[in-house]
């Protein structure tokens, strides 16, 4: 039942993001949300989800807490397998590629960028009991 509710919530969030061009996506001026559309790793069917991000000099940083789930979220596993992804920020669409961060860079970005921006995110890592994956999205070459 819980997984079905999460999927339904994701569908509503994606619909709202598309319909309103990202307005009201987070409910807070301090939280930035983008929409990723990435081919499913098994089916190739495009899958969309809304995720938090932070803008850095290296690109857009995204992380896969899965609200504290014990496994990496599906969207992050799809992102790992994809060559590129469509990123929508507001009404703007960009073709981007993801680079998953490995240690020690992942820990540095997790601590110095993500947790510095919002220390409350750490509770999801504690609940999950796993290392939260972090990726940087950068423009895909044409």
Instruction: Tell me the two tokens of residue 114.
Output: 């993500």
Task: Indicate yes or no: pTM above 0.85.
Answer: yes
pLDDT in tens, 18-38: 777 776 665 566 778 999 999
Average pLDDT taken over every residue of the chain: 90
Summarised one tens digit per residue, pLDDT across range 50-87 is 999 999 999 999 999 998 999 999 999 999 999 999 99
Q: What is the pLDDT of residues 133-142, one digit of tens each?
A: 999 999 998 7
Which whole-number Å values give the CA distances from 111 to 45, 57, 95, 115, 119, in the listed order? 34, 16, 28, 5, 9
The pLDDT value given to residue 28 = 63
């Amino acid at each position: 039942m819980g997984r079905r509710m999460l999927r339904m919530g994701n569908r509503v969030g994606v619909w709202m993001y598309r319909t309103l061009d990202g307005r009201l996506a987070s409910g807070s001026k301090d939280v930035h949300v983008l929409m990723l559309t990435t081919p499913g790793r098994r089916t190739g069917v495009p899958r969309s989800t809304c995720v938090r991000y932070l803008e850095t000099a290296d690109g857009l940083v995204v992380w896969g807490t899965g609200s504290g789930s014990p496994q990496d979220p599906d969207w992050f596993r799809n992102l790992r397998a994809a060559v590129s992804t469509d990123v929508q920020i507001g009404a703007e669409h960009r073709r981007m590629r993801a680079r998953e961060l490995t240690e020690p860079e992942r820990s540095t970005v997790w601590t110095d960028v993500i947790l510095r921006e919002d220390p409350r995110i750490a509770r999801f890592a504690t609940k999950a009991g796993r290392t939260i994956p972090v990726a940087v999205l950068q423009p895909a070459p044409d």
